[in-house]
C-alpha cells in the first residue's frame, strides 16, 4: 500500500519548515491542508511560504482559488486525491502539511461527502444573519437540530456552521448523520501521521511574535489591497484570522492595538482548538519540540519511523 505522510500541528508550530525539509530528504512533494492558504492574494496573514522558502519543492493547494470563490472540504478532498495520484505517478511521496483538522480527516478517514447542491441564496442569507445578529445566534440555530455538530464546530467557524445548516435543510438529516455513514469504506492509502507539539506557553509566545512579524511585513497593506479588489467581510475568506481583525481596524471599528490584541488572542484560541481536534486522532505520532530540538532531528525521527 502506498504511504502518505501527514505533518500536522497547531499554527506556528513549524509544520511548513519541517515538511519542506522532509520533502527534500525523501523526494516528496507537498499538499497543503490549510483552509486559508488555498486563497490567492492572501499571503502574509496566512503565513504562506514564499517561493524562496519552498526551496524548489512543489506545493499543491496553495493559491488554488480567488478570495470570492467558494471552497469546501469536499472540493479540497477531491483536488487533494487527484494531486496525490499525480505525485505517486511522478515516483515521489505525497506529504500532507497543515493544521485544518477537517481537511486532514477527509483524507485519512476517506469521508464520502453527500452530493448536495450548494444553495448560494441560503448561504448569503445565513452569512448576513451572522453579520447582523452575531455568530452565536447562527450557532444556536445549529445546536437546535444537530447538537453534536454544534459541539464540534466553534462558534466563530461561520463557514462550517452555514454548511451544516445547509445540509440539514436540503436533506432533513444532520451533518453528523452524513459524516457517520460516510466512513464505511477505508482509504486506499496508508497515512502515517506525525504531530508537532510543544509547551503551550512557548507556542503562545511564537504565535504572538508571528503576529507582530505579519504586521511588520505589511499585513495592513495586504488587507487594503484585498479591499481595493472588492473583497470584504461578505466573503468567507475575509472572515479568516488576520483579515477580519484588520478589516475592523481599517473600517474604524477598532484601534490597531485592539485589532492586534484580538488577532493574537483568537489565534491562541484557534491553536488550542487545533490541538483538541488532533488529539482525537488515535494514529498520530507526536513529536515534542523544545529549544534544543533541531529540524534535522525531527526529520530523522520521522524517517526512522517510516
pLDDT in tens, the chain (306 residues): 689 999 999 999 999 999 999 999 999 999 999 999 999 999 999 999 999 999 999 999 999 999 999 888 889 999 999 999 999 999 999 999 999 988 998 899 887 766 566 777 888 888 888 888 888 889 998 898 889 888 888 888 888 888 888 888 877 888 877 777 666 578 889 999 999 999 999 999 999 999 999 999 999 999 999 999 999 988 989 999 999 999 999 999 999 999 999 999 999 999 999 999 899 888 899 999 987 888 888 999 999 988
How far apart are the C-alpha atoms of 264 and 177, rounded to whole Å? 35
CATH of domain 3-113+184-305: 3.40.50.300
* Rg for the chain, CA atoms, rounded: 19
120-181 carries CATH number 1.25.40.10:
no
Nearest to 103 by CA among 166, 154, 32: 32
In the chain, which residue ranges form alpha helices assigned H by DSSP? 15-26, 73-89, 101-108, 120-133, 135-145, 147-152, 158-171, 175-181, 200-217, 219-228, 244-250, 256-278, 295-305
Please say whether the beta carbons of 32 and 98 come within 8 A: yes
What are 60's strand-pairing partners?
A: 31
**How far lies 175's CA from each of 84, 144, 167, in Å?**
27, 13, 6
| Burial profile 241-279: b = 16 or more Cβ within 10 angstroms, e = fewer | bbbbbbbbbeeeebeeeebbebbbeebbebbeebbebbe
DSSP symbol at 65: B
Record the pTM: 0.83
Please say whether the beta carbons of 189 and 3 come within 8 A: yes
| The two domains 3-113+184-305 and 120-181 share their CATH topology (first three levels equal) | no
Cell digits for 195? 504531530
Q: Could you tell me the residue ranges of all domains in the chain? A: 3-113+184-305, 120-181
How far apart are the C-alpha atoms of 82 and 77, rounded to whole Å? 9
How far apart are the C-alpha atoms of 72 and 232, rounded to whole Å? 19
For the CA atoms of 81, 234, 138, 11, what is the dihedral angle to 10 degrees? 50
How far apart are the C-alpha atoms of 215 and 197, rounded to whole Å? 25
Please say whether the beta carbons of 223 and 45 come within 8 A: yes
How far apart are the C-alpha atoms of 11 and 107, rounded to whole Å? 20
Matching residue, cell 530528504: 25
Amino acid at each position: 500500500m502506498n504511504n502518505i505522510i501527514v505533518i500536522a500541528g497547531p499554527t506556528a508550530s513549524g509544520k511548513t519548515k519541517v515538511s519542506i525539509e522532509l520533502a527534500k530528504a525523501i523526494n516528496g512533494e507537498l499538499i497543503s491542508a490549510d483552509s486559508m492558504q488555498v486563497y490567492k492574494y492572501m499571503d502574509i496573514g496566512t503565513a504562506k511560504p514564499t517561493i524562496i522558502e519552498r526551496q524548489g519543492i512543489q506545493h499543491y493547494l496553495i493559491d488554488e482559488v480567488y478570495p470570492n470563490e467558494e471552497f469546501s472540504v469536499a472540493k479540497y478532498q477531491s483536488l487533494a486525491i487527484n494531486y496525490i495520484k499525480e505525485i505517486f505517478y511522478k515516483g515521489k511521496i505525497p506529504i500532507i502539511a497543515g493544521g485544518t483538522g477537517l481537511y486532514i480527516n477527509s483524507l485519512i478517514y476517506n469521508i464520502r461527502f453527500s452530493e448536495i447542491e450548494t444553495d448560494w441564496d441560503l448561504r448569503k442569507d445565513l452569512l448576513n444573519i451572522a453579520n447582523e445578529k452575531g455568530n452565536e445566534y447562527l450557532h444556536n440555530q445549529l445546536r437546535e437540530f444537530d447538537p453534536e455538530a454544534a459541539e464540534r464546530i466553534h462558534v466563530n467557524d461561520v463557514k462550517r456552521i452555514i454548511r451544516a445548516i445547509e445540509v440539514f435543510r436540503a436533506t432533513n438529516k444532520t451533518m453528523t448523520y452524513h459524516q457517520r455513514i460516510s466512513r464505511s469504506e477505508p482509504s486506499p492509502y496508508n497515512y502515517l501521521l506525525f504531530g508537532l507539539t510543544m509547551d503551550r506557553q512557548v507556542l503562545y509566545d511564537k504565535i504572538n511574535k508571528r503576529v507582530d512579524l505579519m504586521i511588520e511585513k505589511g499585513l495592513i497593506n495586504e488587507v487594503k489591497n484585498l479591499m481595493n479588489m472588492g473583497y470584504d467581510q461578505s466573503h468567507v475568506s475575509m472572515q479568516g484570522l488576520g483579515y477580519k481583525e484588520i478589516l475592523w481596524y481599517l473600517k474604524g471599528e477598532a484601534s490597531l492595538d485592539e485589532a492586534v490584541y484580538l488577532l493574537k488572542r483568537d489565534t491562541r484560541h484557534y491553536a488550542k482548538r487545533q490541538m483538541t481536534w488532533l488529539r482525537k486522532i488515535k494514529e498520530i505520532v507526536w513529536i515534542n519540540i523544545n529549544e534544543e530540538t533541531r529540524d534535522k532531528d525531527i526529520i530523522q525521527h520521522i524517517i526512522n519511523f517510516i
